[in-house]
A and B are shown apart, each in its own frame.
Chain A
Amino acid sequence: MTDTIFALASGSLGCGVAVVRISGPRAGHISERYCGAQFPARQAVYRPIRDPRDGVVIDHGLVISFTAPNSFTGENSLEFQVHGSRAVIARLFQALAAEDGCRMAEPGEFIRRSFENGKLALTSVEGIADLIDSRTEAQRRQALTQAGGHLADRAAEWRDLLLDAFSLLEAEIDFADEGDAPSGVMPQVRNILLQLSAGLQAALIDANRGERIRSGYRVALAGPPNAGKSSLMNALVRRDVAIVSEHAGTTRDVIEVEFDLGGYSVLVSDTAGLRETSDPVERIGIERTEREIGRADLVLWLGDARATVDSVAFGQADQLRVATKMDLLDKLPPWADVGLSVVSGQGIGELLRHLEERAAVALSGEPPLITNLRQHACVATAARHLELAMGNDGNALELMADDLRRVANELEALMGRIGVDDILGAIFSRFCMGK
């Protein structure tokens, strides 16, 4: 028999109310043993909650029961809302752990059961994980939409289109000689696939934005040594109103800071100064800088206001030229878009407004369908096989069908229905206890 699992679903203790979630076949039994009865589903009931081992009242609280499949996990479930006391929870958990077939939930186990019971598509699971992690308004909005089935619903539409095309195509192949089969199905198949292709392409065009909202709009500070990059970084860090977190990047030489600017997550990274060098250690730092610049959405090119700066091109990234040390000069040099001084503090507010504006231009709009790289990979592969399929529509129907089968497999993988063993582990490991 499946274990019944329990965990604290609310935050840290020593608070007003704690929510304990219990899910599994023994949920109803536990309601009887702890509260003396089973209650109608989805109704909050105020009751003393007793330790069945000695009948002692542990606490008074609200009890809500849910019956399968109408619960978060799809199983019979029970929720206790008790006082957020360490002692209450400790006693309650001791009692629950002593129950037959009952144990503490593993991290992510509730949502895993929900996924397993078909309550949630994998993309919605990812949405929930993102929602729990969300730090900015745009992230919250995007994650909530995804959790609500934004991409899952669209993928279901895609799958329906694909099934329509498949059934026509397979009928043409398997029933061609039976007289009662539809004939001349190809124009219809082609129309359906064009529609599907348009859907996939639209989602892909917008995909970059979803990942950016989720993981942050990337801004790289770059420029020659001593241009004032680290000073600017420090100045930004000290303006603690905007800072979300500060952590070392993947290398010792690249420091990242995440800001909430106008509801968007903006990641600013400080990099090693760029210059010609023969020092091997410095060379490694510069290579890392170049990589950082390569993946940035915006490059802030910093230069001493007193110096002449050649224009530098950074691939596809947007750039903003910033003159530093403006306290030493009164006029913005002609090469710069913005001037600032970390000593006087002038221009920093303006720079932040610029960043916010750029981030908003890049990230605003309705929440995108694709919000992470895994989803992007599935949809992009599906689109590639679809393109091959459409190239086979002349005479090789069986090849077209084979390509379409691969499209279908990718969409199934997107929803978490097939072949995603490793990915599942990675996704569910993002959840903390009780979710």
Chain B
Amino acid sequence: MNLSFDVIVIGGGHAGCEAATAAARLGARTALMTQSAASIGVMSCNPAIGGLGKGHLVREIDALDGLMGRMADEAGIQFRMLNRSKGAAVRGPRAQADRKLYRQAMQAELRDYPNLTIVEAEALELLVEGGCLTGVVSTAGRFMTGSVVITTGTFLRGMIHIGEQRIEAGRFGDAPSNNLSASLLKHGFFLGRLKTGTPARLDGRTINWGVLDEQQPDSDPEPFSYLSSGIKQRQVSCFITRTTLAGHKIIEANLHRAAIHSGAITGRGPRYCPSIEDKIARFADRESHQVFLEPEGLDDPTIYPNGISSSLPTEVQEAFIRTMPGLENVEIFRTGYAIEYDFLDPRGLKASLETKHVPGLFLAGQINGSTGYEEAGAQGLVAGLNAARRAGGKDPITFGRDNSYIGVMIDDLVTRGVSEPYRMFTSRAEYRLSLRADNADQRLTPVGIEIGCVSFIRQSQFERKMARIEAARARLRDIAMTPKEAGDAGFVVNRDGVRRSAYELLAYPDINFARMAEAYPELGDIDRKTADQVEIEAKYAVYLERQGAEISAARRDEALAIPPDFDFIKVEGLSNEIKARLSAVQPETLGQASRIEGVTPVSMTLLAVTLRRHQKSVRAGIV
């Protein structure tokens, strides 16, 4: 086979699927290259999508017409809105997915996707000529292309650890990609090691469910996708058990046999998703840890015990698991394991996820040091869009910290690098109140419309929705009342003689839209979704305004671009250490430079002065 494509995406996981379809949506002739087409859309670890911060990412992917949200809506068997009792900005949608249904939905979606070809082959080597990417050599032949997205997850020199045992694998049962690692090394990329883990899988038919606490799904499940009208699958419960002291003793006695503690693993694992042996070693005073028993599918007896990933030997894991209430006689389908894999220092990437080193080469997902399906999918989307734009000769599209979690994540990765697998949290977003799961479409769909990556259906649905919100907002602003009138309507406000609109009154903690509609029955014809949306905005109005001011201040720094060949060594007055830090990252804007670890405000002032002088001389034609 000897073919050429506009974009080739290597890897068929969550990042690869989003990358390939995003490129295809922009009209690029795209190939998705995977070792096994049957593994496309496989959920390698927990059978769940979303969560706090992660649910935000899924909504953002959806707002740009990505797949993850719609697939999860197809396959979701337990929808829960996390932090339901807290404010809208920190609520995160999450769903257990039927593993099989998810994979089937993804494969069905990709099968008929316009502009997309699936190539079953292992990528062996990148072709680079004159410093630019020109193609990929694979087991199915040589392919010519100017844009490649690598999304190989844990497959680069993947090594599974179960106790003393080591298996070369990208995922349980799948071969690793060692040739591609070697090819990247050859092109001068710096590879580091990270690790992650997964728990054992249990046979649900051998669990004593009667003794466990039940966690029910939401009674009014909310889908991920702005396009989904409702939930398709039957909704089921999860159950909760706990580790016991007897189990902790077993682990303590065998700690030295865990790969992570015996020194066999050198890669850093995620602090936020620790293995059970880590939890027990680090929190020795805790008598018990919660374990969620999550079903992997409607017609699948497999249960995923969330919270006990482990690299202990099989017999230790089994003995430990059987000390938990309800699991005394459980049968274990498959042992848990830790996996070590190569990643590339993401500080070598631009905000477009293109490598600085090899133009045309893009990276997304775990290869950049992140963890999680949602993090991978969101990067895949951005890399796919930019790979296609590059193929079409367009400027890259980037996302900012002020418009999306996608922007926060990518800026964190490319500016600060990673010392452990990077997971999204709401606390990473300084503009958290503006970046909500409920308004991802308002933030990003207009961007999608502009660059042409959203469907006509989504565009028209979005435009109608915005018109409804705009109208409702205007009607609430038109209702104005004096403190006395407000009091008569049952709203307590200061008797200061100031007239307030119904919109302003919604910011009061004890006033909501339902009460407002009682006092003003003419508001009753505003539909619930629109009302909810306007109510959230109104609640945050004061804070959003304050945040808006901060955002415009920050944008001034973002607007000051640093030329790619800018020499930080020549900036007068900077200390050597700061010059070294800046040179290592080669930030693209002054804003990005200021977020590099250890960079001081004084050095930013010096840099700003130098850049402005540089800009002036460029304009005057001196440089």
The contact of A179 among B89, B240, B600, by CB within 8 Å, is B240
The contact of A177 among B82, B289, B604, by CB within 8 Å, is B82
Question: How would residues 95 to 136 of chain A score, 1 for a CB under 8 Å from any chain B CB and 0 otherwise?
Answer: 000000000000000001101111000000000000000000
* Cβ A116 vs Cβ B290 within 8 A: no
Assess A173 versus B574: contact at CB under 8 Å? Given A179-B240, A180-B290.
Answer: no
* Cβ B83 vs Cβ A180 within 8 A: no
In the complex, which residue of chain A has the Cβ closest to the Cβ of B291? A179
Question: How would residues 167 to 199 of chain A score, 1 for a CB under 8 Å from any chain B CB and 0 otherwise?
Answer: 000100111111110000000000000000000
Assess A180 versus B89: contact at CB under 8 Å? Given A170-B427, A174-B53, A424-B602.
Answer: no
* Cβ B426 vs Cβ A420 within 8 A: no
In the complex, which residue of chain A has the Cβ closest to the Cβ of B283? A180
Contacts of A416 in B (CB 8 A): 601
Within residues 533 to 552 of chain B, which ones have a CB less than 8 A from any CB in chain A?
A: 540, 543, 547
Q: How far is the CB of A90 from chain B (nearest CB, A)?
A: 26
CB of B228 within 8 Å of the partner chain = no
* Cβ B87 vs Cβ A396 within 8 A: yes
In the complex, which residue of chain A has the Cβ closest to the Cβ of B609? A421
CB of B130 within 8 Å of the partner chain = no
Contacts of A180 in B (CB 8 A): 279, 289-290, 307
CB of B509 within 8 Å of the partner chain = yes
* Cβ A421 vs Cβ B509 within 8 A: no
Bound-complex Cα distance A3 to B52 (A): 49
CB of A50 within 8 Å of the partner chain = no
* Cβ A402 vs Cβ B432 within 8 A: yes
Contacts of A396 in B (CB 8 A): 87, 509
* Cβ B433 vs Cβ A402 within 8 A: yes
The contact of A424 among B90, B290, B433, B605, by CB within 8 Å, is B605
Within residues 405 to 442 of chain B, which ones have a CB less than 8 A from any CB in chain A?
A: 425-427, 430, 432-433
CB of B575 within 8 Å of the partner chain = yes
* Cβ A179 vs Cβ B605 within 8 A: no
Assess A177 versus B430: contact at CB under 8 Å? Given A116-B602, A399-B543, A419-B601.
Answer: no
Question: How would residues 65 to 109 of chain A score, 1 for a CB under 8 Å from any chain B CB and 0 otherwise?
Answer: 000000000010000000000000000000000000000000000
* Cβ A174 vs Cβ B52 within 8 A: yes
* Cβ A176 vs Cβ B240 within 8 A: no
Q: How far is the CB of B270 from chain A (nearest CB, A)?
A: 13
CB of A164 within 8 Å of the partner chain = no
CB of B471 within 8 Å of the partner chain = no
* Cβ B52 vs Cβ A421 within 8 A: no
Bound-complex Cα distance A179 to B543 (A): 30
CB of A2 within 8 Å of the partner chain = yes
Bound-complex Cα distance A178 to B290 (A): 8
The contact of B509 among A2, A395, A402, A419, by CB within 8 Å, is A395
Question: How would residues 395 to 434 of chain A score, 1 for a CB under 8 Å from any chain B CB and 0 otherwise?
Answer: 1111101100100000000001111110011000000000
Bound-complex Cα distance A46 to B560 (A): 52
* Cβ A2 vs Cβ B307 within 8 A: no
CB of B576 within 8 Å of the partner chain = yes
Assess A398 versus B432: contact at CB under 8 Å? Given A174-B52, A176-B82, A177-B83.
Answer: yes
Bound-complex Cα distance A420 to B291 (A): 48
Q: How far is the CB of B321 from chain A (nearest CB, A)?
A: 17
Assess A2 versus B576: contact at CB under 8 Å? Given A398-B89, A420-B601.
Answer: yes
Bound-complex Cα distance A399 to B575 (A): 38
* Cβ A421 vs Cβ B87 within 8 A: no
* Cβ A179 vs Cβ B509 within 8 A: no
Assess A173 versus B602: contact at CB under 8 Å? Given A1-B569, A179-B307, A399-B433.
Answer: no
* Cβ A397 vs Cβ B86 within 8 A: yes
In the complex, which residue of chain A has the Cβ closest to the Cβ of B547? A402
A-B pair number, CB within 8 angstroms: 99
Q: How far is the CB of A121 from chain B (nearest CB, A)?
A: 12
In the complex, which residue of chain A has the Cβ closest to the Cβ of B51? A177
* Cβ A394 vs Cβ B52 within 8 A: no
Interface-centre pick from A3, A113, A173, A402 (highest chain B CB count, 10 A): A173
Q: How far is the CB of B606 from chain A (nearest CB, A)?
A: 9
* Cβ B90 vs Cβ A398 within 8 A: yes
Contacts of A178 in B (CB 8 A): 290
Interface-centre pick from B52, B279, B289, B601 (highest chain A CB count, 10 A): B601
* Cβ B602 vs Cβ A394 within 8 A: no
Q: How far is the CB of B215 from chain A (nearest CB, A)?
A: 10
Contacts of A417 in B (CB 8 A): 600-601
Bound-complex Cα distance A175 to B271 (A): 13
* Size bracket, chain B contacts: 35 or more
* Cβ A2 vs Cβ B433 within 8 A: no
Within residues 368 to 399 of chain A, which ones have a CB less than 8 A from any CB in chain B?
A: 394-399
Assess A25 versus B576: contact at CB under 8 Å? Given A180-B289, A399-B433.
Answer: yes
The contact of A176 among B53, B83, B573, B602, by CB within 8 Å, is B83
Contacts of A424 in B (CB 8 A): 601-602, 605
Q: How far is the CB of B286 from chain A (nearest CB, A)?
A: 8
Bound-complex Cα distance A112 to B426 (A): 37
Q: How far is the CB of A28 from chain B (nearest CB, A)?
A: 14
* Cβ A116 vs Cβ B600 within 8 A: yes
Assess A397 versus B576: contact at CB under 8 Å? Given A176-B82, A180-B289, A420-B601.
Answer: no
Bound-complex Cα distance A118 to B574 (A): 13
Assess A173 versus B426: contact at CB under 8 Å? Given A180-B279, A394-B509.
Answer: yes
Q: How far is the CB of B385 from chain A (nearest CB, A)?
A: 28
Contacts of B602 in A (CB 8 A): 112, 115-116, 424
The contact of A402 among B51, B543, B569, B604, by CB within 8 Å, is B543
Question: How would residues 569 to 608 of chain B score, 1 for a CB under 8 Å from any chain A CB and 0 otherwise?
Answer: 1001111111100000000000000000000111111001
Contacts of B579 in A (CB 8 A): 2
Assess A405 versus B52: contact at CB under 8 Å? Given A1-B569, A116-B575, A397-B86.
Answer: no
Contacts of B240 in A (CB 8 A): 179
* Cβ B87 vs Cβ A398 within 8 A: yes
Q: How far is the CB of A172 from chain B (nearest CB, A)?
A: 9
Q: How far is the CB of A45 from chain B (nearest CB, A)?
A: 27
CB of B337 within 8 Å of the partner chain = no
* Cβ B605 vs Cβ A397 within 8 A: no
The contact of A116 among B51, B90, B94, B603, by CB within 8 Å, is B603
Contacts of B52 in A (CB 8 A): 173-177
CB of B503 within 8 Å of the partner chain = no
Q: How far is the CB of B362 from chain A (nearest CB, A)?
A: 29
Q: How far is the CB of B616 from chain A (nearest CB, A)?
A: 19
* Cβ A173 vs Cβ B427 within 8 A: yes
Contacts of B572 in A (CB 8 A): 3
Bound-complex Cα distance A169 to B102 (A): 35
Interface-centre pick from A112, A399, A416 (highest chain B CB count, 10 A): A399
CB of B155 within 8 Å of the partner chain = no
Q: How far is the CB of A423 from chain B (nearest CB, A)?
A: 10
CB of B343 within 8 Å of the partner chain = no
CB of B292 within 8 Å of the partner chain = yes
* Cβ B430 vs Cβ A405 within 8 A: yes
Bound-complex Cα distance A249 to B46 (A): 74
Bound-complex Cα distance A396 to B543 (A): 12
Bound-complex Cα distance A424 to B600 (A): 12
In the complex, which residue of chain B has the Cβ closest to the Cβ of A406? B546
In the complex, which residue of chain A has the Cβ closest to the Cβ of B576? A2
Assess A421 versus B601: contact at CB under 8 Å? Given A180-B289, A394-B509.
Answer: yes
Shortest 3 CB-CB contacts between residues of A and residues of B: A179-B290, A170-B427, A398-B87
6 A-B residue pairings within 8 Å (CB atoms): A2-B576, A174-B52, A176-B83, A398-B89, A402-B432, A417-B600
**Which residues of A come within 8 Å of B, CB atoms?**
1-3, 25, 75, 112-113, 115-118, 170, 173-180, 394-399, 401-402, 405, 416-421, 424-425
**Which residues of B come within 8 Å of A, CB atoms?**
51-53, 80, 82-83, 86-87, 89-90, 94, 240, 279, 289-292, 307, 425-427, 430, 432-433, 509, 540, 543, 547, 569, 572-579, 600-605, 608
Besides A178-B290, A179-B292, A399-B543, 16 more A-B contacts (Cβ < 8 Å) are: A2-B574, A75-B575, A117-B575, A170-B425, A174-B53, A174-B425, A177-B94, A179-B240, A180-B289, A395-B509, A399-B87, A405-B430, A417-B600, A418-B601, A421-B605, A424-B602
